Structure 1
Amino acid sequence: MAKLKVGMIGFAHTHAEGFLRALANHPEVEIVGVADENRSYVEPFDKQYPYFESYKELLATDIEAVFICSENVRHAPLTIDAAKAKKHIFCEKPLGTSVAEMEDMVAACKENGVQLMTAFNNRYVQAVIRAKKAVESGEIGTVIAVKGTNKGALPRREWFVDPNLSGGGAMLDHSVHVMDLFNWILQSRVVEVYAESGTLFHDIPIDDSGMVHFKYENGVIGVLDTSWSRVKAFPMKRDLTLEIIGTEGTIYVDVRKLSNEIYSNLSDSAEWSDWGDNLNSLIVGDFVHSIRMGIPVPITGEDGLNSARISIAAYESSRLGRPVAL
């Protein structure tokens, strides 16, 4: 079987580098080209692979799939154009910045017979997988509540704090991963959201903090602390924790626990070095396998929509000062 021909569109999100490396190391993948109108984002990969200033020129090649890691507001038009060009799509999170545009993305892919996968690589963390199995087997009884955190440093690239490019600040950026994990583990849908957000830690024109409260259809209640609150001294620039509270026990997961502590005079602060599984390789491998075998991708566009929908409702709730029904 011939290799899967893949292109990369957009390098604005820093995850693009990890996904590209995973593709380059995959024995069944051929990287045909990279595209971003902002060439500085693509360096140095524009020297390693054919560079396309226009993504439409890359879509006109014989690639079978594209990875989209652009600014958030461009996810929808890029995905829809790729779907119309009959390319399968792996899209960075959040899937989109409005419910309507995400529904259009999902519909375009279905209409054109291509698959859409959302980049939720934390589903591949072994502790998360084991927590899901423990919940499903009833090890902690009936789940009654969940708590999560996703606190990070201020993103390095300026587009993250530009509402016209990001579509939202920390409450969007740092809620979708955790909400996807809760959706996946609980196998229910959020029916109500109450949130408060603000700009408390940085002089930026967008939110850098938020508390999101939510209620699931199955009765589980939850809360998520999402922010860009970590200062430079933190060894790891972000955290991700889950607490799942049941009638017979509690599960606590710290996704960043798999690390070595490094103290060096060559660095400004202590550092952590991950030694867990390469999540980018695992999720990219699943996408490639699904496309080559013609089977459904494991993390769909609908999954991306269901997670980001909660974040969008959180902004509405924060603006209105009351709970919002989904």
Structure 2
Amino acid sequence: METLKIGMISFAHGHAFSYFNSLRKLPEVKIVGIADEVQSRVEDIVDRYEVPYYADYRELLKQDVDAVVICSENVRHASLVIEAANAKKHVLCEKPLGTTMEEMERMIAACKQNGVQLMTAFPCRYLAAVVRAKEAIDRGDIGDIVAIKGTNHGGNPGGWFIDKSLSGGGALLDHTVHVMDLMNWFLKSKVKEVYAYAATLFREELEVEDAGMLHVKFENGVFAVLDTSWSRPKSFPTWGDVTMEIVGTQGVITVDGFAQKNDLFSNAAGKGQYTFWGDDMDAFMIRDFVKALLHGEQVPVTGEDGLKAAEVALAAYESVKLGQPVAM
């Protein structure tokens, strides 16, 4: 069996731990190294699973590595992806792909020039409810789509996410891209206009916004609204949600991405909790990344997909600044 040698660069984003576990369970994958300048973030898994550790990601890129998974702070995505591409490594990059259009275009170009693939980490495409909705839409079950209402609520993630110099933005950037990618995937139509609202409503001391609302028009006539707020308090049973109400000419599909859950009431936790029992979206995404590279196929979620979703968030910031709709 052919083996894909994968390295991981930065565990700044917590999704890295889930991706690591997903990679570890695939017999066709060998994790050849983890690079993180903050050793304490990864020392437990490095020791437990005897994975080579590199304080400098450049040393990892010099190794015999086929691909890397990058889960750094948002503002570092571009430089890390471009260096990995120049080292001839395929890349899976955490969302949002980048913090400016120019850097995302450079990331995509660098990968193409070096003959490697760039995949954006959008695991929500693998949620069971989302997959079934896509199948129903493609079959024409609800006719032509007229409008979509979406939410990606969450709790304030804290840490570097609320440091604009590292994140590039707040809730608008962090929570627009997942559901925006799903809308793009369903509609296959370009966004032509964005009108947005953003504010700091839940923690006044923040330097980034924690509330956002986007109104989007597509070239095919569909309009959509998306709530991207970090509005969930610490007492909420889970970090957030991914929902959509998709209105068609012949019916409506309601998507609740994390509805496959049990309600757990625990004195130890001190609050009610949702425990998800559905399929592991991260595992499915990682499996498809590995499968595409081993079989020489195109990755299922491209760098261009990442750019299209992040482009809407960046246009939203421009709309907030101008106080009016922005044409794309």
Normalised by the length of structure 2, the TM-score is 0.97
Aligned to 1:25: 25
Structure 2 gap segments, 5+ residues each: none
1:188-238 Cα distance to aligned partner (Å, 9 max, x none): 111100001010101211110100000001000010011111011211111
Q: Distance in 1 between matches of 2:43 and 2:137?
A: 44
Q: Distance in 2 between matches of 1:194 and 1:2?
A: 48
| Letter in structure 2 aligned against 1:191 | K
1:19-56 Cα distance to aligned partner (Å, 9 max, x none): 00011111001111100112232231232311101100
* Greater than 6 Å deviation, 4+ residue runs: none
Q: Distance in 2 between matches of 1:146 and 1:70?
A: 31
Equivalent of residue 275 in structure 2, options 273, 294, 317: 273
Q: Is the counterpart of residue 190 in structure 1 residue 191 in structure 2?
A: yes
1:297-321 Cα distance to aligned partner (Å, 9 max, x none): 0000000000000000001100110
Equivalent of residue 300 in structure 1, options 289, 299, 302: 302
Aligned to 2:160: 159
Q: Distance in 2 between matches of 1:40 and 1:323?
A: 45
Give secondary structure in 2 for the equivalent of 1:102: helix
Q: Distance in 2 between matches of 1:304 and 1:317?
A: 20
Structure 1 gap segments, 5+ residues each: none
RMSD of aligned alpha carbons? 0.9
Identity across aligned pairs (percent)?
56
Q: Is the counterpart of residue 211 in structure 1 residue 213 in structure 2?
A: yes
| Letter in structure 2 aligned against 1:169 | G
Aligned to 1:233: 235
| Letter in structure 1 aligned against 2:6 | V
Aligned to 1:80: 82
Q: Distance in 2 between matches of 1:281 and 1:97?
A: 26
Instruction: Give, in angstroms, the shift of residue 138 of structure 1.
Output: 1.7
Q: Is the counterpart of residue 101 in structure 1 residue 73 in structure 2?
A: no
Aligned to 1:264: 266
Q: Does the 8 Å contact 2:2/2:294 carry over to 1?
A: no
Aligned to 2:125: 123
The aligned length equals: 325
Q: Distance in 1 between matches of 2:151 and 2:123?
A: 17
Aligned to 1:313: 315
Q: Distance in 2 between matches of 1:264 and 1:42?
A: 29
Give secondary structure in 1 for the equivalent of 2:195: strand
| Letter in structure 2 aligned against 1:33 | G
| Letter in structure 2 aligned against 1:181 | L
Q: Does the 8 Å contact 2:243/2:257 carry over to 1?
A: yes
| Letter in structure 1 aligned against 2:99 | T
1:153-186 Cα distance to aligned partner (Å, 9 max, x none): 1104x10000110001011101100000000011
Aligned to 2:15: 15
